[in-house]
Chain A
């Protein structure tokens, strides 16, 4: 069943929804990257919560006009309008009053959502309201979706993705370096508006699939995940689209196979799984790699300190140092240096003396910058220079590794 779902064989509707979700996930990944780079990830939370009163009002208006109020296009249009209002209020509060952006986000989010709940309780008491199923917008539900609805979602997700791809260059420039973008004649205010438009589109299209409480995850988790793997903006964009698309695809397919479960949480958890793997195992920025780097550094420091102690005939009490020296075969278990250890220790002390000379001689100013206690002096100076140093130290035929 799950395999059928992953290979898109659970019927036309489920396939359409899965494709739509995948496209939406990719659009969300790319759109969210710009938000993430501008450090405004949580603006999307305000936008998504602000859709609720719009959905409810659209339903009420459509019922008042004599329809049954369940036209998806109408509901999504209402959602877009009230989300846009919420967005405008956030930016008005954070630019025209003394409130910081986070307070503006929080107040819009809670007030719009609260008002939406009030409207929902009114709808529940309307005669037509009992079967409205507007609650499915909270957490997303793809099961039992009409064919026309699946079509709308797939097409608008595709349009959103195209929009993101068309606008990606100016958006990248503006989110990476707004000052430079302004200097090159780009209208950053308008670009920002376009970015918010994309976020709005992703949110509104995703309402039915992911639900308004969790749709922000589609905009936040993929870029954060992608950021672990690369330092380049264009690669973050591509990876983010990939992670977003995969999460949405996997989540939508899984929930098509398990129709009792809400779709949104599954998509979010699949995406979170990618995030955890990246956090742990990404090269460079991952936790495991940082841990390994730390261990290597620790080893180098302990070995150097241990060798210097050996060379100066001081006893070593530190356990880790002893263990590392012993593993290298440089000391015996009782802490006495082996022959090889003595040679190493002598060289460590000699290198230290050389460095001291280098650091006090203005002629070696550039080389002295490399002194950190761990860099091998041979990697900084040529053998001729080393010989010259050794001559000044008054030693002939210096110790070589």
Chain B
């Protein structure tokens, strides 16, 4: 595999995959610890109706209306779940189940009822995206990385995901102490003056932003998998949050790279002609990593709060 082939075809999808994986895994650490892991699942389902509505309103399948529509749908879903939970006094898992299935069903039906035949907008795309299509046409090789003219034609998903990753990382860095305290001991966090409720909502919103930005490029499977699997695997490795986050970033990157390579080149190695879904393969690899960590991780058992350094 040389640069002339790798840079135009694989560099951009691979980097996008890594950025998506890390941007989702970072907030995922806190969501898993706070037992809100399924928020990512709910958000990635409700993104579909948001995108369909945005498309119907603007008539175009372009980036910004879609992102706004998806973000709007995520906010509507979070509010609706909370409303059902409070108004109906219903346990949050069930409230989530009611809202995201109904919104997803609405999205599918809207999509089927409206004429979207001339744009690339369908349920399959929403589910598993199209990482492989992020081809950098103007790149000729590694040297293109220093060529401003070629750089201008990089698929827009890459810089967008990079920005999203920076934003997510920034949020976690800025609110590191309050986030850490309120995740482990919400009562104590309140006593020392952390506004836990807005902070919790902020975390969910940041997670939604990561999910919505990621979703367009890679579909919702990777999003759910990356929210949960790398942090869950990292949790088996250590008792310290700092190290857990480092592990989760490493696992997310590993899953993205290995998944993309296996999906793109794996079938060729065993003699098949076509590649398989990169999104699905990345999710699968993250599951394999989790399985290994769950069998062998030093802190895989409950109550394994061994002496910490």
User: A97-B294, A102-B36, A121-B276 in contact; A110/B228 too (CB < 8 A)?
Assistant: yes
Q: Does B3 contact A (CB under 8 A)?
A: no
Expressed in whole angstroms, the Cα–Cα distance for A223 and B93 within the complex equals: 13
User: A106-B224, A117-B279 in contact; A265/B88 too (CB < 8 A)?
Assistant: no
Contact check: which of B96, B102, B108, B127 meets A262 at CB < 8 Å?
B108
- Residues of chain A contacted by B89 (CB below 8 angstroms): 285
Residue of A97, A105, A138, A139 most packed against chain B (CB within 10 A): A97
Interface string of A71-87 (1 = CB under 8 A from B): 00000000000000000
- Residues of chain B contacted by A281 (CB below 8 angstroms): none
Task: Other than A45-B97, A100-B32, give 8 A-B pairs with Cβ distance below 8 A.
Answer: A99-B232, A113-B283, A114-B280, A121-B280, A261-B109, A262-B112, A264-B105, A265-B106
> How far in angstroms is the closest Cβ of chain B from A292?
14
8 closest Cβ contacts across the A-B interface? Answer: A114-B283, A111-B287, A117-B280, A217-B101, A110-B225, A265-B105, A220-B97, A268-B105
Chain B binder among A35-43, A153-161, A318-326, A387-395: A35-43
Task: List 8 interface pairs A-B (beta carbons < 8 Å), by A numbering.
Answer: A39-B91, A107-B229, A117-B277, A118-B284, A214-B101, A214-B105, A217-B102, A272-B102
Expressed in whole angstroms, the Cα–Cα distance for A268 and B221 within the complex equals: 21
Interface string of B269-289 (1 = CB under 8 A from A): 000111111011111101100
User: A42-B38, A98-B300 in contact; A139/B123 too (CB < 8 A)?
Assistant: yes
* Contacting pair A118 B236 (CB below 8 A): no
Closest residue of B by beta carbon distance from A108: B287
Q: Does B104 contact A (CB under 8 A)?
A: yes
Expressed in whole angstroms, the Cα–Cα distance for A361 and B7 within the complex equals: 88
Interface string of B103-129 (1 = CB under 8 A from A): 011101100110000000001100110
Q: Does A1 contact B (CB under 8 A)?
A: no
Interface residues of chain B: helix, strand, loop or mixed (majority): helix
- Residues of chain B contacted by A96 (CB below 8 angstroms): 301
> How far in angstroms is the closest Cβ of chain B from A56?
11
- Residues of chain A contacted by B221 (CB below 8 angstroms): 110, 113-114, 117
Closest residue of B by beta carbon distance from A266: B109
Closest residue of B by beta carbon distance from A36: B94
Expressed in whole angstroms, the Cα–Cα distance for A275 and B84 within the complex equals: 10
Interface string of A251-284 (1 = CB under 8 A from B): 0000000001110111011001001000100000
Closest residue of A by beta carbon distance from B227: A106
* Contacting pair A111 B286 (CB below 8 A): yes
User: A36-B94, A120-B277 in contact; A213/B104 too (CB < 8 A)?
Assistant: yes
* Contacting pair B301 A115 (CB below 8 A): no
* Contacting pair A40 B93 (CB below 8 A): yes
Q: Does A227 contact B (CB under 8 A)?
A: yes
* Contacting pair B109 A272 (CB below 8 A): no
* Contacting pair A97 B113 (CB below 8 A): no
B residues sitting closer than 8 Å to A (CB atoms) are 32, 35-38, 40-41, 45, 84, 87-91, 93-98, 101-102, 104-106, 108-109, 112-113, 123-124, 127-128, 221-222, 224-225, 227-229, 231-232, 235-236, 263, 267, 272-277, 279-284, 286-287, 290, 294, 299-304
Residue of B108, B227, B282 most packed against chain A (CB within 10 A): B108
- Residues of chain B contacted by A116 (CB below 8 angstroms): 280
> How far in angstroms is the closest Cβ of chain B from A123?
10
User: A93-B294, A98-B302 in contact; A268/B101 too (CB < 8 A)?
Assistant: yes
> How far in angstroms is the closest Cβ of chain B from A289?
11
> How far in angstroms is the closest Cβ of chain A from B76?
14
* Contacting pair A214 B104 (CB below 8 A): yes
- Residues of chain B contacted by A139 (CB below 8 angstroms): 108, 123
* Contacting pair B38 A261 (CB below 8 A): no
Expressed in whole angstroms, the Cα–Cα distance for A265 and B45 within the complex equals: 13
Closest residue of A by beta carbon distance from B221: A114
User: A114-B221, A118-B280, A121-B277 in contact; A269/B228 too (CB < 8 A)?
Assistant: no
User: A118-B284, A285-B89 in contact; A269/B106 too (CB < 8 A)?
Assistant: yes
User: A98-B235, A214-B105, A261-B113 in contact; A275/B98 too (CB < 8 A)?
Assistant: yes
Q: Does A228 contact B (CB under 8 A)?
A: yes
- Residues of chain B contacted by A264 (CB below 8 angstroms): 105, 108
* Contacting pair A224 B109 (CB below 8 A): no
Closest residue of A by beta carbon distance from B224: A110
> How far in angstroms is the closest Cβ of chain B from A344?
36
- Residues of chain B contacted by A103 (CB below 8 angstroms): 32, 35, 37, 228, 231-232
Expressed in whole angstroms, the Cα–Cα distance for A219 and B65 within the complex equals: 34
Expressed in whole angstroms, the Cα–Cα distance for A93 and B273 within the complex equals: 37
In chain A, positions 218-242 with a C-beta closer than 8 Å to chain B are 220-221, 223-224, 227-228
Expressed in whole angstroms, the Cα–Cα distance for A214 and B100 within the complex equals: 9
* Contacting pair A97 B301 (CB below 8 A): yes
* Contacting pair A227 B236 (CB below 8 A): no
* Contacting pair A287 B105 (CB below 8 A): no
Expressed in whole angstroms, the Cα–Cα distance for A93 and B98 within the complex equals: 25
Expressed in whole angstroms, the Cα–Cα distance for A261 and B110 within the complex equals: 10
Contact check: which of B36, B229, B280, B299 meets A98 at CB < 8 Å?
B299
Contact check: which of A42, A213, A266, A279 meets B97 at CB < 8 Å?
A42
> How far in angstroms is the closest Cβ of chain B from A256?
15
> How far in angstroms is the closest Cβ of chain B from A15?
23
> How far in angstroms is the closest Cβ of chain A from B234?
11
- Residues of chain B contacted by A118 (CB below 8 angstroms): 263, 276-277, 280-281, 284
- Residues of chain A contacted by B32 (CB below 8 angstroms): 99-100, 103
* Contacting pair B283 A115 (CB below 8 A): yes
Expressed in whole angstroms, the Cα–Cα distance for A39 and B38 within the complex equals: 14
* Contacting pair B88 A279 (CB below 8 A): yes
Closest residue of A by beta carbon distance from B274: A125
Expressed in whole angstroms, the Cα–Cα distance for A217 and B272 within the complex equals: 38
* Contacting pair A265 B276 (CB below 8 A): no
* Contacting pair B105 A272 (CB below 8 A): yes
Contact check: which of A138, A213, A269 meets B102 at CB < 8 Å?
A269
Contact check: which of A41, A117, A121 meets B91 at CB < 8 Å?
A41
Contact check: which of B36, B101, B128 meets A216 at CB < 8 Å?
B101
* Contacting pair A45 B112 (CB below 8 A): no
Closest residue of B by beta carbon distance from A135: B124
Expressed in whole angstroms, the Cα–Cα distance for A44 and B93 within the complex equals: 11
* Contacting pair B102 A97 (CB below 8 A): no
Closest residue of B by beta carbon distance from A269: B105
> How far in angstroms is the closest Cβ of chain B from A266?
7
* Contacting pair A39 B93 (CB below 8 A): yes
